[in-house]
A and B are shown apart, each in its own frame.
Chain A
Amino acid sequence: MHLAISLEEVAEMIPDGARVMLSGFMGVGTPDGIVRALAEAGKKDLTVIVNDAARPHCGVGPLVKAGCVKKFIGSHIGVNPDVQEKMRAGELQVELVPQGTLVERIRAGGTGLGGVLTPTGLGTLIAEGKPTVEVEGKTYLLETPLRADFALIAARSCDYVGNLTYMLTATNFNPIMALAADVVIAEPEEIVPVGVIPPDAVKTPGVLVDHVIKRAA
Chain B
Amino acid sequence: MKDLIDFTKMDPKEIIARRVAMEIKPKTLVNLGIGIPTLVSDHLDESMGVFFQAENGAVGMGHRPPEGMTDRHLTDAGGSFVSAVPGASTIDSAFSFGLIRGGHLDLTVLGGLQVDAQGHLANWMIPGKFVPGMGGAMDLVTGAKKVIVAMIHTAKGQSKIVQTCDLPVTSQRRVSLIVTELAVLEPRDDGLHLLETGPGVSVEEVVAATEAKLVISGDIPEMDLSQTV
Once the chains are docked, how many angstroms separate the CA of A107 from the CA of B98? 12
Contact A78 B138 (CB under 8 A): no
With contacts A84-B130, A124-B168 known, is A104 near B142, CB below 8 A?
Answer: no
Once the chains are docked, how many angstroms separate the CA of A176 from the CA of B170? 25
Task: Tell me which of B93, B132, B172 contacts A51 (CB under 8 A).
Answer: B93
Task: Tell me which of A28, A52, A119 contacts B101 (CB under 8 A).
Answer: A119
Contact A103 B97 (CB under 8 A): yes
Once the chains are docked, how many angstroms separate the CA of A47 from the CA of B108? 33
B interface list, Cβ under 8 A from A: 54-58, 71-75, 77-79, 84, 90-94, 97, 100-101, 124, 130-139, 142-143, 168-172
Please, which residue of chain B has its CB at the minimum distance from the CB of A27? B79
User: For B132, what are the chain A residues with a Cβ–Cβ distance below 8 Å?
Assistant: 76-79
Once the chains are docked, how many angstroms separate the CA of A25 from the CA of B130? 21
A interface list, Cβ under 8 A from B: 25-29, 51-52, 54-55, 74-79, 84, 87, 94, 96, 98-101, 103-104, 107, 118-126, 156, 166-176, 203
Task: Tell me which of A100, A104, A124, A171 contacts B91 (CB under 8 A).
Answer: A171
- Separation in Å of the B128 CB from the closest CB of chain A? 9
Give 16 A-B pairs besides A26-B77, A107-B94, A124-B170 with Cβ atoms closer than 8 angstroms.
A25-B56, A25-B77, A26-B75, A52-B133, A52-B135, A74-B133, A84-B131, A99-B139, A100-B143, A120-B138, A123-B172, A124-B168, A124-B172, A168-B58, A168-B74, A172-B57
Contact B56 A28 (CB under 8 A): yes
User: For B72, what are the chain A residues with a Cβ–Cβ distance below 8 Å?
Assistant: 27-28, 170
Please, which residue of chain A has its CB at the minimum distance from the CB of B128? A88
Task: Give me 10 A-to-B residue pairs in the complex whose CB atoms sit less than 8 angstroms apart, sorted by A's number.
Answer: A25-B57, A26-B78, A28-B72, A51-B93, A52-B135, A84-B131, A96-B124, A99-B134, A122-B142, A156-B73
Once the chains are docked, how many angstroms separate the CA of A115 from the CA of B170? 22
Contact B73 A100 (CB under 8 A): no
User: For A78, what are the chain B residues with a Cβ–Cβ distance below 8 Å?
Assistant: 130-133, 135
